[in-house]
Structure 1
Amino acid sequence: MKNILTSLIVLATLTATAQQQGIHPSSTQYEWPTDPQVKQKLDQWQDQKFGMIIHWGLYAVPGIIESWSLCSEDWITRDSNSYYGDYKKWYWGLQKDFNPVNFNPDEWAKAAKTAGMKYLVFTTKHHDGFCMFDTKETDFKITNGPFKNHPKANVAKYVFDAFRKEGMMIGAYFSKPDWHSENYWWPVYETANRNNNYDIRKFPWRWEKFKQYTYNQISELMTGYGCMDILWLDGGWVRPKETVNAEVLSWGAPIPEWSQDIDILKIAAMARKKQPGLLVIDRTVHGPYENYQTPEQRIPDHKIDNPWESCMTLGGAWGYVPNESFKSAPKVIASLIEIVAKGGSLLLGVGPGADGSLQQPIIDRLTEIGKWMDANGEAIYNTRSTAIFQDGNVFFTRSKDSKKMYALMPVADGAATPSIIEWSGNIPAKGSTVTLLETRQRLKWSLVNGKVKVVLPSKLKTAAVAIAFTTS
């Protein structure tokens, strides 16, 4: 136990580094959906712009990086005197300690709505295989532990219901790999890395069992948990061999010689029969079932014309870790502005504690973000990117009907708001009214040598300036 606790200290200390190592790269190829209902849902999703992803599972009990400590790869650090087998037994045993007595999904949903968020992605199962829903496929689940007699023991159902009541689109995160399943990590062999640990070509019957297990669990989520908008599939290394191209190889993740094909075509057909128009996000697996791309913990350096979403953490980790350092509200708002100007959406990650509560700094950040969004959300929601999306530190969006343009300039933490905002390109129409969204004031503007100059009110304090105008 002493060695395991030492490992936990190391893991908690190296969270930020490990998060970078575990990042999913983003595919560069994109294929537009052809199903009219999926296209309609995708257009609806592109209007939302700002969502919350919640990572919550056994890893919240010790407060370590989600699932990854189970994996034996060179970027994972455990105490050199601890035995790997003992560590896995200890981790699986956290099931008996996970008792989120302060679980209140309505408070989570309220915090998200206060922040101006419009959609949810909730972790129903991470790579460790622990299910946050009442699956019939395994006993390794939240409803088979100390929380099982709680009226809201089937936590995924109540999370989805709470966010749905707040008018949000609903997404189910689901890990394709499942390290607890004996049909993914077969106990006959060691578990060297994130991949399944046996040659599927030699044991096809075992892989078929895993495929059926995956199909059945996704079917459960699509059947008994209300209206679903998004199936967010993580673990992009579980993919058909033919999709492993030079780009995938360049990412540097371990790739087995066999195909880890789980038959996404069959899964998607079943899921969309139950949930018409469902967006399927098979992360990094380019093709018809990656309905939008998901660059992780970064903002692309260019505008992307197909649907995409940056998934980024509010702190340094996806899940709960103690003594976390959180990004400031102005920093999150600046990221949101840049992402939306480049054509994407921001999915912001938070991690509840093992007791089910959100840390107060998370609530405080979300509240502060929401105040800015209440005044300036017009420049974010229901917008699309423009040909000229950026000029220096000024970003641009346009209304979906193209009747309005917006200029947005983030203000750094602690910095004073400038008295003038200026840019080139996206010139307001002659006689156009230029309005400061924060106060709805009409602003004086001029065009000098092809550069727009807008005079801002004195003593204006804001996380980001947002201006509306029309162009010729």
Structure 2
Amino acid sequence: MSETKDVVLEQEEQVVEAGVHHFSKEEEWVKPEDPLLLERLEWFKDQKLGLMMHWGPYSQLGLVESWALSDEDGDWSRDDIDWTDDMEHFKREYFDLNKTFNPIRFQPEEWAQMAADNGFKYFLFTTKHHDGFCMWDTHTTDYRITGKDTPFHTHKYADICRVLFDAFRAKGLGISAYFSKADWHTPYYWAPGMERGSHMWRGPSYDPHKYPWLWEKFVEFTHEQIMELLTNYGRIECLWLDAGWVREGRHGQDIRLGEVVERARQTTQPWLLSADRTVGGPYENIVTPEQTIPEHPMNIPWESCITVGNSFAFGFDDQYKSGRQLAHILLEVVSKGGNLALNVGPQPDGRLPKGAVRGIKALGEWLNTHGEGIYGTRICGPYFTKDWAFTQKQEINTVYAFRLYRNENEAVEAQVIIPYMEKVERVELIGTNDAISYQQTENGLVVDLPPSAVSGAAPITHTFKLLTRG
């Protein structure tokens, strides 16, 4: 490999490692000038909880989505490929998975109802991952869910994006459309017989500077796909763009994203937010940490995408987080100023994994009581202290203090010290709405819990409502 290619690969590793994207720094965020976009970003910051889904033919293998196709990423993405050592044969098998993908147990209305019942406010769905398989009725390629080679194409729910977007909108959820800027199936990106031969990486198989006509074909292909989604599939709140290595200045991979986003805003979706991950600049309206939570609060629009299990795609042996774990993750994210996009990977037959649903329903039950301290809130010091999380609603002079209990066997003290130093006028325990006695001290608020709050197993949280001015 040439020195130039080595430098490019080193740059790409700064964007994503082992399939996990890094996230842009707060100072790289560019505030939009359009008042409508600023209004929509405030709407986004109010929502707090989105349901994310990675789903496609790859669910049949129970493997990480797409990444095993990239030879440069094989050291981590091919651990579960135990039936062959021939990776060229594997790639052919993978790309043929559309011929057996037939999720006849898919029930979009039930998915939407589950999300609405359990506190989700928007839906983030993978319209196309890096492997190039389209989950909508695109006219740009036959490699799609409605293509004749895919057995599901005759089903009444065949246009999966359409039926999901319609079902979730009907339940009042906003729609965020995940779209990979890379496409490893189209010959405009991974062109056969080009410079790289059969040894592929996540970028194009050719140098766009040397083959500008071929790269232009890819740009046109990408723009047409994005405009299909933003023209024919109803209101979409956010275009959520993955593959941060596809960008201006990265080995010539400029897809002129601003051109297509502005066209959509001017013609069909004036409210459209854009999340151009890891790129910074005017089209990364939302910063997207992945499988992590920033160490410190960020006072910009951001969203951690974190899995209910261990992986984004469905895995046959996946282990799922409990409702307590999910609530604590949500609290850390929200108290640091972000939203949580909670990902579940549907099964190949179209069902949601029972373990994932169990955790989601437990989270929803907790939100049903404690959600007033989550939705529509903003950051408030001391933010997150491992045992405590804080949020506030300034317009009603209210601070919410959450005492987190890591497990049900943790000791619950009859008297707790809330590490909040500002003067308060009243303290209530959420779930009772009764005022409880407290003392304001130099260490914080000393609060006496009622006997009913101390007995039994430790709850997920005790949540205190602090009225800061009468």
* TM-score normalised per structure 1: 0.89
Kept after mapping to 2: 8 A contact 1:58/1:94: yes
Kept after mapping to 2: 8 A contact 1:391/1:423: no
Match of 1:64 in 2: 63
Which of residues 148, 152, 156 is equivalent to 1:147?
152
Q: Tell me the alpha carbon deviations over residues 377-415 of structure 1, each in whole angstroms, 9 at most, x when there is no partner.
A: 010000000243234521211115252111012211223
Kept after mapping to 2: 8 A contact 1:443/1:455: yes
- 1:462 partnered with 2:455: no
Kept after mapping to 2: 8 A contact 1:382/1:400: no
- 1:198 partnered with 2:192: no
Which of residues 173, 178, 186 is equivalent to 1:168?
173
Q: The residue matched to 2:166 in structure 1 has which SS?
A: helix
Q: The residue matched to 1:381 in structure 2 has which SS?
A: coil
Deviation at 1:459, TM superposition (A): 4.4
Distance 2:156 2:381 in 1: 52
- 1:138 partnered with 2:141: yes
- 1:23 partnered with 2:31: no
Amino acid at match of 2:31: W
- 1:272 partnered with 2:265: yes
Decide which moves more: 393-402 or 295-304: 393-402
Kept after mapping to 1: 8 A contact 2:84/2:90: no
Which of residues 400, 421, 432 is equivalent to 1:439?
432
Deviation at 1:80, TM superposition (A): 9.9
Match of 1:5 in 2: none
Match of 1:83 in 2: 86
Match of 1:227 in 2: 235
* TM-score normalised per structure 2: 0.90
Match of 2:226 in 1: 218
Q: The residue matched to 1:90 in structure 2 has which SS?
A: helix
Deviation at 1:445, TM superposition (A): 1.1
Q: The residue matched to 1:441 in structure 2 has which SS?
A: coil
Match of 2:215 in 1: 207
Distance 2:24 2:373 in 1: 28
Match of 1:182 in 2: 187
**C-alpha spacing 1:399/1:141, structure 2 compared with 1 (3 Å):** same
Q: Tell me the alpha carbon deviations over residues 35-57 of structure 1, each in whole angstroms, 9 at most, x when there is no partner.
A: 11111111101100011111000
Match of 1:121 in 2: 124
Identical-residue share of aligned pairs (%): 39
Aligned-residue CA RMSD (Å): 1.7
Kept after mapping to 1: 8 A contact 2:426/2:468: no
Q: How does 1:214-363 map to 2 (within 5 A)?
A: 214-241=222-249, 258-273=251-266, 274-363=268-357
Distance 1:213 1:107 in 2: 34
Match of 1:423 in 2: 418
Amino acid at match of 1:41: R
Match of 1:10 in 2: none
Deviation at 1:360, TM superposition (A): 1.3
Distance 1:400 1:158 in 2: 39
Amino acid at match of 1:75: W
Distance 1:321 1:81 in 2: 19
Deviation at 1:435, TM superposition (A): 1.0
Q: How does 1:364-443 map to 2 (within 5 A)?
A: 364-391=358-385, 393-401=387-395, 403-416=397-410, 417-429=412-424, 432-443=425-436
**C-alpha spacing 1:282/1:154, structure 2 compared with 1 (3 Å):** same
**C-alpha spacing 1:455/1:105, structure 2 compared with 1 (3 Å):** same
Distance 1:271 1:422 in 2: 52
Deviation at 1:458, TM superposition (A): 2.7
Q: Tell me the alpha carbon deviations over residues 409-445 of structure 1, each in whole angstroms, 9 at most, x when there is no partner.
A: 221122344333313334342xx22111122232211
Distance 1:347 1:360 in 2: 19
Amino acid at match of 1:72: D
Match of 2:101 in 1: 98
Amino acid at match of 2:100: D
**C-alpha spacing 1:20/1:349, structure 2 compared with 1 (3 Å):** farther
Kept after mapping to 1: 8 A contact 2:390/2:400: yes
Can you give the 5+ residue segments of structure 2 that lack an aligned partner in the other structure?
Answer: 1-15
Q: How many residues end up aligned between the 2 structures?
A: 437
Q: The residue matched to 1:141 in structure 2 has which SS?
A: coil
Q: The residue matched to 2:103 in structure 1 has which SS?
A: coil
Match of 1:255 in 2: none
Distance 2:357 2:244 in 1: 31
Q: How does 1:32-51 map to 2 (within 5 A)?
A: 32-51=31-50
